[in-house]
């Protein structure tokens, strides 16, 4: 646990790294909310956390960070979530996790299986308990434990809880990084503007990180964090055009969706089967929106239960705002999102 005064100071320093102060806002009605979230509108893991915050109706301070390093007219501009102030705050969360740093690249983002990435979003600060939490799955479970009102996302009943958490774990195994950043050898249906930005994304990441290592040579913790990140991103560059790796990522995703079809048919979970909306629905909803954005919605053309599930989830207010609308506002236009945008318009404000 870290003192409230220290957390306030560290979070303020991290917040100050936002180039545009307008991206630091208060969500909800409290002027001094209990929670502070560092995230990005386009970040899949951030969308999961914001969906839960929306479902729980929690007020929070929102810091929407720029998470791609870019080459501007006056030189390289590092991603905001690489800033030393943010990494120092994130390392507070790392000490609670007791996890080794990420040491390679799989295309997945699960801390449980891949290790701790010190240079990503989201990150949650709870000022009431003095805790800083990393990893979207961990954050979401924590938020649900704070209050079961107005909705409880992780059931108390052992069997129901086990199934919800099993589904959450399945979603965590989807190689979303590979699907977003990778150049698929067959039909690459990502928006052209997205593909263009991905041509140099790894080079700019590594360049920014190397510069930060040089600038912060006197802080061994920061240097170790940046070096771990370089290992991961260098691994991503090696496989982003590897046909076998990219095909395997798609095939694994297809198999997980086939498994979802079976589970939906069995009625063991999911809000479309008459069960209460759960964390599994939130996680699947965000991921199905992302797969659709990438042009991979055809993966469930022959999976009627998954198709219906995606349609139902697209009408959930939290997912409309935090996954669909956030993607429309923060990412290059994808024509595959047009139908989901229509679904969004049907949901009451």
- Residue 94: pLDDT band with limits 50, 70, 90: very high
What's the distance, CA 69 to chain centroid?
A: 17
Residue 281 phi/psi, 5-degree rounding, is -65, -40
DSSP element (H, E) containing 60: strand 60-64
At 179-214, the pLDDT tens digits run: 999 999 999 999 999 999 999 999 999 999 999 999
- Residue 18: pLDDT band with limits 50, 70, 90: very high
Residue 85, exposed/middle/buried by CB under 10 A (0-12, 13-18, 19+)? middle
Which residue matches tokens 């290059």?
332
* Global confidence as pTM: 0.97
Give the residues across from 61 on adjacent strands.
26, 36
Q: At what angle do helices 158-172 and 243-266 cross, to 10 degrees?
A: 160
Residue 51, number of CB atoms within 10 A of its CB: 28
240-258 in b/e form (b: 16+ CB < 10 A) is: beeeebbeebbebbeebbe
Residue 13 pLDDT more than 80? yes
At 234-274, the pLDDT tens digits run: 999 999 999 999 999 999 999 999 999 999 999 988 888 78
Given this model, what pLDDT does residue 93 score? 97
Given this model, what pLDDT does residue 343 score? 67
At 52-77, the pLDDT tens digits run: 999 999 999 999 999 999 999 999 99
- Residue 122: pLDDT band with limits 50, 70, 90: very high
């Amino acid at each position: 646990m870290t003192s409230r005064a220290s957390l306030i100071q560290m979070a303020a320093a991290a917040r100050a790294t936002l180039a545009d102060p307008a991206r630091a806002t208060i969500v909800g009605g409290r002027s001094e909310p209990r929670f502070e979230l560092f995230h990005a509108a386009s970040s899949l893991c951030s969308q999961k956390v914001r969906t839960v915050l929306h479902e729980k109706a929690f007020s929070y301070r929102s810091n929407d960070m720029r998470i791609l390093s870019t080459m501007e007219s006056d030189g390289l501009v590092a991603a905001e979530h690489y800033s030393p102030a943010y990494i120092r705050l994130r390392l507070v969360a790392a000490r609670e996790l007791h996890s080794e740093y990420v040491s390679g690249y799989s295309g997945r983002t699960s801390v449980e299986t891949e290790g701790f990435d010190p240079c990503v979003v989201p990150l949650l600060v709870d000022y009431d308990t003095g805790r800083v939490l990393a990893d979207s799955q961990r954050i979401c479970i924590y938020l649900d434990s704070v209050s079961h009102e107005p909705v409880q996302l992780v059931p108390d009943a052992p069997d129901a809880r086990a199934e919800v958490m099993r589904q959450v774990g399945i979603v965590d195994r989807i190689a979303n990084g590979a699907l977003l950043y990778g150049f698929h050898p067959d039909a690459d249906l990502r928006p052209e503007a997205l593909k263009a930005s991905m041509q140099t994304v790894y080079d700019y990441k590594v360049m920014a990180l190397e510069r930060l290592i040089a600038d912060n040579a006197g802080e061994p913790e920061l240097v170790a964090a940046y070096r771990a990140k370089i290992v991961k991103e260098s691994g991503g560059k090696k496989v982003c055009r590897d046909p076998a790796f990219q095909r395997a990522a798609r095939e694994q995703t297809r198999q997980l969706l086939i498994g979802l079809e079976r589970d939906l048919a069995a009625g063991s979970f999911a809000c479309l089967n008459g069960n209460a909306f759960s964390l599994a629905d939130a996680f699947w909803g965000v991921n199905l929106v992302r797969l659709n954005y990438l042009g991979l919605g055809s993966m469930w053309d022959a999976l009627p239960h998954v198709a219906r599930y995606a349609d139902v989830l697209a009408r959930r207010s939290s997912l409309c705002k935090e996954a669909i609308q956030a993607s429309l506002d923060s990412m290059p236009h994808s024509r595959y999102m047009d139908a989901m945008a229509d679904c969004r318009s049907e949901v009451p404000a």
